[in-house]
Structure 1
Amino acid sequence: MKKIQVTNWLLVLWVASFFLASCSAATPQVIEVTREVPQTVVVTQVITQVVILEPSPTPSETPAPIVYPTWTPTSLPQPPTPNPGQVQALKQKGFYVYYPLEGCGPSIVRPSFDVYVSMDGGKNAIRSSPDISSAHNIIGYALPGEHLKVISGPVCSWGWLMWMVETDYGLTGWTPESDGKSFWLIPMLPPE
């Protein structure tokens, strides 16, 4: 296949060189010949050079490893203080508010719930592990209003309630429900 392509290109270049040679104006040179009648002789020279360009193999270099900064806290964060007004508002809307893990804030989500990302908090990071102390485990985002299926959890990470969720497009990972003050995962329907 490659030889056919090269042959085709050579044919195109050969035809193009004759076309260009016939179209270009030659510079006439006057040469006097010792005869009785002077003559004008036109000399035209066409030089054709075909160069086949092929990419040269480049040595494969091993890229330098990416070093991600890590955050190491100097002290453990204090357990979150729930926002009583928000908890009361959720109870009034029919949500069952409970405290699943010591050291973490309240929850309104349970495994197997269908939830959506709150419109108030922006996008939720989806992580490969429930650890929120580093950004290098973020594998995607769930946008406000996006539907998620809660698979398992919760896990308490630095005072945040983390749930394993699956998006409608198949991404599975950990995302926060609450930091004890704000709720970012809202059940689709209040439990009865």
Structure 2
Amino acid sequence: MKALVFERFGGPDVLHYQDIPNPSIGPTDVLVRTKAIGLNFADVYRRKGNYHLTGTPPYILGYEGAGVIEEVGAEVSHVNVGDRIAFADVPFANAELVAVPQDKIIAVPDDISFDAAASVLLQGLTAHYLTQDGYSIQPGDYVLVHAAAGGVGQLLVQIAKLLGGQVIGLTSSSEKARAAAQAGADYVFLYEDNWVEQVKEVTKRG
């Protein structure tokens, strides 16, 4: 199979396509032919050498993607060959084939594209736990979202609104402020302004 690999740390120029052996799967894994692969800042940091990597080169980046199951492990019973799935927190995603543990499988409905599924998982899971596990947003809660125009930020804005929250977004520019507002933020303030006082004015309590 083809994979996007690198042998040394650096900029995008260190990446290249290379033929490597197909991954083998265990009894609780499935083999997925990728149709779309997510790109996150963590991938950039690993490529640049900011994050520690184990093993020896060639390294394969990527931790989320979407595709079609080509092979199913002997102990996997809830999915079949041909199923459309996505996965998150699975290494070596920048390849044509990825071995995915069954507990990482996320079914992808027919009306959701592979591109959309692969682009939202790690950021979406982050936004989900922040709005459900870190604190369960209740109707009427004020929710302050930093970097509200970023990937996680826009998802936080949308989820908080779905849960009935009043969302205050913070961004660094007018252009980003428009993006946060389009995502559904009720108020958007810029970091360069006195946003602390602006938030107090909106919430009446800080």
Name the TM-score class by shorter chain. Answer: under 0.3
Ranked by relative contact order (alpha carbons within 8 Å, sequence separation 6 or more), the top structure is 1
Query: Please, what TM-score do these two structures have when normalized by structure 2?
Result: 0.20
Query: Please, what TM-score do these two structures have when normalized by structure 1?
Result: 0.22
